[in-house]
Structure 1
Amino acid sequence: MAEDLDAWLLANRLGIPDTIAYLRKTYPSPTWREHHNFGELADFWLRVHASLREQGGQLQKITEAFREGTLDATTFQRTFVPRFNHFLQHLEGHHQIEDAAYFPKFRALDPRMQTGFDLLENDHQLIHGALLSALEHARLVVAALPRGADSVRSASDDYAVSTNRLMALLARHLADEEDLVIPAMLEHGERSVG
């Protein structure tokens, strides 16, 4: 198992293979919503993921506007800090619920799912580390605001690197998770994991 996880570390992969996402061909994403087993839980899952993508994109836009000088320091701090905190809480809460409640239920449905959900849990650890790095760099940006342009530029450059890494990891993870979770719900029904 460890070798499988090493081969498919989140930062290195471009997707998960069909041997792990073994239901993906049976249930391709364009047909998910049309399936009779697509219900409220699958819809909610996809909406949560869409929300995380949107929140991450908003943070990147706010940061870019600040770095380009189209957003002043006061407005940046007033808009960025609460959005970043909300994003952090949303993402961490989502992953905790998955690890504690949903992933064990998916594993119990079919032993073939074990590797996929081990992979997703490993992703959560990597994303958590990237999130902590982005949080530390975000704090440094806010702390640099009173010290002037050079300090702010350096701190915001470092934050941009760390948050871009976080968002790239998150985007890959969310897509891969959907390739496992939604087809499993369609195959086994939402009641089996709800």
Structure 2
Amino acid sequence: MENALKLGIRKAMPEDLLFLAEKHPRETWREQSGLAGTGEIWLHNHDYFRAITARIMEQIDRLRGTGETGLDSGPALGRHIGSLLGGLDGHHRIEDHHYFPIFQRAEPRLIRAFEILDSDHHMIHDAIDELAGATEDSLRRLGRSEGVMTGGQKRAVDDLAAVVERIAPILGQHLADEEEIVIPLILERARLDPEFG
């Protein structure tokens, strides 16, 4: 794949792949009946990934801002990060093995778009592995204590923050780019086949 199309480098999906997004602009999606079912679930999952990522960043910012940790600080971070990573892994498996092949057969002009999104998934799964490892290491170093953080605990939070801050933007870009391909396709096909997806 061209380097310019890689996640984190590209600014958006190529214009020639957005022909359905032009017919179905983002601001009209939620009002269309064709969104019911698969499209609604897709957007709900993506909204959840954005919300839980924001929550993780807020928790980290709060720890860094106060310089204090509570007994549940580490476990709460671990639960939220685990939920994000598990959700992404499951969501991408269903996309890769079920939805993307169906969508490519339904609209062959978008095969290249799904190849780009598949490449994104590989990059995101590498990021998932990295974040899982960083989380385990940082939470072990943070421990379960209450009060002012030690220098080692602050470094543990800073190390985790660096990984989250690097991964969050690429995840956000992928979610938005994927929506620009998938949701218009669902809306377009739903006019012909209400059971599509």
Normalised to the residue count of structure 2, the TM-score between the two structures is 0.89
In the superposition, relative to structure 1, how do residues 86 and 36 fare at CA in structure 2: closer, same or farther (>3 Å)?
A: closer
Kindly indicate whether the alpha-carbon contact (under 8 Å) linking 1:23 and 1:184 is maintained by their aligned counterparts in 2: yes
| Aligned 8 A contact 2:142 2:157 in 1 | no
Q: Distance in 1 between matches of 2:18 and 2:86?
A: 28
**Structure 1 ranges of 4+ moved more than 3 A:** none
The equivalences for 1:1-194 within 5 A come to: 2-3=1-2, 6-69=3-66, 71-146=68-143, 149-189=150-190, 191-193=195-197
Give 2:168's aligned amino acid: M
Stretch moving more, 62-71 or 173-182? 62-71
The residue type paired with residue 169 of structure 2 is A
Q: Is the 8 A contact 1:137 1:155 kept in 2?
A: no
Shift of residue 135, structure 1, vs aligned partner: 1.6
CA distance in 2: counterparts of 1:107 and 1:59, whole angstroms: 34
Range with bigger deviation, 171-180 or 75-84: 75-84
Provide the identity percentage.
29
Per the alignment, in what secondary structure is the counterpart of residue 79 of structure 2?
Answer: helix
Contact in 2 for aligned 1:24/1:179 (Cα 8 Å) = yes
Distance 2:26 2:75 in 1: 38
CA-to-partner distance for each residue in 1:109-140, whole Å, 9 max, x for gaps?
12111011111111111111112112211112
CA deviation vs aligned residue, 1:51-88 (integer Å, no higher than 9, x gap): 11101111111111112226514221131111211111
After TM superposition, the score normalised by the length of structure 1 is 0.91
Please state whether the residue corresponding to 1:83 is helix, strand or coil: helix
Q: Which runs of 5+ in 2 are unaligned?
A: none
RMSD (Å) for aligned C-alpha atoms: 1.8
Shifted more, 89-98 versus 29-38: the winner is 29-38
* Alignment partners' CA distance in 1, 2:151 and 2:77: 20
Q: Give 1:100's aligned amino acid.
A: H
**Partner Cα distance (1:71, 1:188) in 2:** 52
Deviations 1:18-41 (A, max 9, x none): 212221111101111233422221
Structure 1: gaps of 5 or more residues: none
